[in-house]
Amino acid sequence: MSDPALNHTPVLQQAANPASSEQNRSRLYAAFAAAGALLSSACCIVPLVLFMLGAGGAWVGNLTALAPYKPIFLGVTAVFLGLAYWRVFRPAPCAEGEYCAKPSSRLFIKSVLVAATLLAVAAAAFPYLAPYLLEG
């Protein structure tokens, strides 16, 4: 005659939260998209911004060595941007009446995605806009 209330055996009832996993994947894809956008702009936009801010030196010229890899960086960036946008803007896999994500974290991911998208578009358009920007 054992009373179930007196049973002190620890029972793990915490299951992995699928919403947390989804949020982490969204963050990861957004981070990869931002990194890809930075790499794709490293050959052209970053040196221009550094020169405009007054930074100079031979090391800035070394960033142009990444120019042959720019299409690869842009392709990888486009893939991760697509995955991140899909993860962020699709309906959340939440149970009825359950709150899955904090709005502030979703806002942060969306702002990173917008910034990465703008940077990637600027990197892709830079060769076409550079003559107009550099006219003196």
Average pLDDT taken over every residue of the chain: 75
Largest Cα span, the chain: 93
pLDDT at 88 over 60: yes
Return the percentage of the chain with pLDDT > 70, whole number: 69
Q: Do the Cβ atoms of 83 and 108 come closer than 8 Å? A: no
Q: Give pLDDT, residue 93.
A: 65
> In the Cβ-directed half-sphere of 4, how many Cα atoms lie within 13 Å?
1
Overall average pLDDT of the 108-120 stretch: 89
Residue 67 lies in a domain: yes
Residue 32's domain comprises: 19-88+102-127
Residue 13 lies in a domain: no
pLDDT at 73 over 70: yes
Cα–Cα nearest to 76, from 116, 18, 128, 127:
116
Overall average pLDDT of the 10-25 stretch: 57
Residue 114 lies in a domain: yes
Length of the chain: 136
pTM of the entire predicted model:
0.66
> In the Cβ-directed half-sphere of 23, how many Cα atoms lie within 13 Å?
16
Residue 97 lies in a domain: no
Residue 108 lies in a domain: yes
Residue 94 lies in a domain: no
φ and ψ of 15, to 5 deg: -95, 160
pLDDT at 67 over 60: yes
Q: Give pLDDT, residue 117.
A: 92
pLDDT at 75 over 50: yes
Residue 118 confidence class, pLDDT cut points 50, 70, 90: very high
For the chain, what is the domain count?
Answer: 1
Residue 2 lies in a domain: no
Sign of CA dihedral 54, 56, 59, 65: positive
